[in-house]
Chain A
């Protein structure tokens, strides 16, 4: 039950939505609602105005465009998990989307909503970071493209400005012999990521690792790139000892969260283990 009253707007274009947001100091965008509505039911969010962007059909699309895969903000986790376009080129994203919550939540929750809400335990920020995606937003001052690394701040905060709306996420299609994977340790009850690791690797024809990108979610106050691990991997042949050595650096320099389910030291262990597991699978695919 939501006890607090609010005004509701359901614009059919992005411009209308941006304008609508301007009508209240305390407006929130409603996409799938699977982050916002639970908070409203608990009384932990009480927006005065909800701008439902669910009627802007164009935001649901998943398409290939100029060497990138463009995922509309309203693409549901389920449509991402099921998309063959994404499954082939952005396996880690498809796997992360498939690992969100449960079937019903995936049917309704959207990638744009998840990224904008910036729950530190959300899944999709990890591949968004690993693939160096760009988040396209539209606001009162027009359009801007925010690189994933600049988009995520800490806990529930992003680079989104006032009245800006996430409209699409552009994932550059990995070039060359690339493979990716998502490995997750879910919270046993809520299903949120205690730790989620998205790894992308590309190999040269001689088998050495050309490029490595590792996005980690759940473990810290915000999602992060495991840069020390990435550096350790590039130039190696990706054998077990190289992967192990890289994974051991995955939590380097990052303060781990602690809660009832996992202490910071356990989280660190999970980051290392899941980095290794994601890398192994990603490499297998890259060599595929």
Chain B
């Protein structure tokens, strides 16, 4: 067993865990944050994407012990004080989700992109979300949603910050 401290969606968690526990298992099984999904075994689908210290990462390919000391943001942590994140609003407004299974991972990856590139082209967006598979939408509306969230985030008076700044 290993003792770790992680901050998940702003709340510090101290836990004793098996080293073989994956971060996604910690989130889903120990913390019951089931908005982060598992869609494949091989790091392709991106359904498990979360932010670790501000970077989008596949939580099925990270040991929970590796996240010791990190700040993690999951889909449950995107809305602040009941206010949806612009990406959440955009996904709904642009009909960028159907079954909704891949949606949390896609929104998280989009946030990583938009935090670093305020005005991405459609090609930038498509390239950035290559690691997130969606079988329902054909991506057309997802691209529109990310584009429209970019516009909103650029126009926002205070820049949106999700998770922490990169520390390492």
- Which residues in A have some Cβ–Cβ distance to B below 8 Å? 1-8, 10, 30, 33-34, 37-38, 41-42, 50, 52, 54, 57, 60, 78, 101-105, 107-108, 189-191
Contact = CB atoms under 8 A, between A and B. Distances in A.
Interface in B1-17: 2
Contact of A33 (B41, B49, B62, B132): B62
Interface string B54-73: 01111011110110100000
A52 B4 CA distance: 14
Given A101-B131, A105-B43, A6 B20 contact: yes
A52 B65 contact: yes
Nearest to A102: B131
Nearest to A37: B61
Contacts of A50: 19, 63
B19 A7 contact: yes
Contact of A103 (B43, B52, B56): B56
Interface of B: 2, 18-20, 22, 25, 41-44, 46, 49, 52, 55-58, 60-63, 65-66, 68, 109, 112-113, 128-132, 168
A6 B19 contact: yes
A107 B57 contact: yes
18 contacts: A1-B22, A2-B22, A4-B20, A5-B18, A6-B20, A8-B19, A34-B61, A37-B22, A38-B42, A41-B41, A42-B42, A104-B56, A104-B58, A105-B43, A107-B52, A108-B55, A108-B62, A190-B42
B66 A103 contact: no
Contact of B44 (A6, A41, A189): A189
Q: Which of A30, A60, A103 has the most chain B CB atoms inside 10 A of its CB?
A: A103
Contacts of B131: 101-105
Contact of B46 (A1, A34, A104): A104
Given A102-B130, A104-B56, A107-B112, A57 B168 contact: yes
Given A10-B68, A42-B41, A103 B109 contact: yes
Closest 6 CB pairs of A and B: A102-B131, A8-B19, A107-B55, A2-B20, A104-B58, A102-B130
B58 A108 contact: yes
B61 A38 contact: yes
B102 to A, nearest CB: 13
Given A5-B19, A107-B52, A190-B44, 8 more contacts: A2-B22, A6-B20, A10-B68, A30-B66, A41-B42, A103-B56, A104-B57, A108-B62
A107 B56 contact: yes
A60 B43 CA distance: 23
A37 B63 contact: yes
Contact of B43 (A6, A8, A38, A78): A38
A22 B132 CA distance: 39
Nearest to B105: A104
Nearest to A2: B20
A263 B19 CA distance: 41
A157 to B, nearest CB: 23
B63 A104 contact: no
A54 B68 CA distance: 10
B25 to A, nearest CB: 7
A101 B46 CA distance: 12
Nearest to B50: A104
B46 A102 contact: yes
A248 B60 CA distance: 42
B39 to A, nearest CB: 13
A163 to B, nearest CB: 20
A57 to B, nearest CB: 7
A50 B21 CA distance: 13
A103 B130 contact: yes
A50 B43 CA distance: 20
B2 to A, nearest CB: 6
B20 A104 contact: no
A52 B109 CA distance: 26
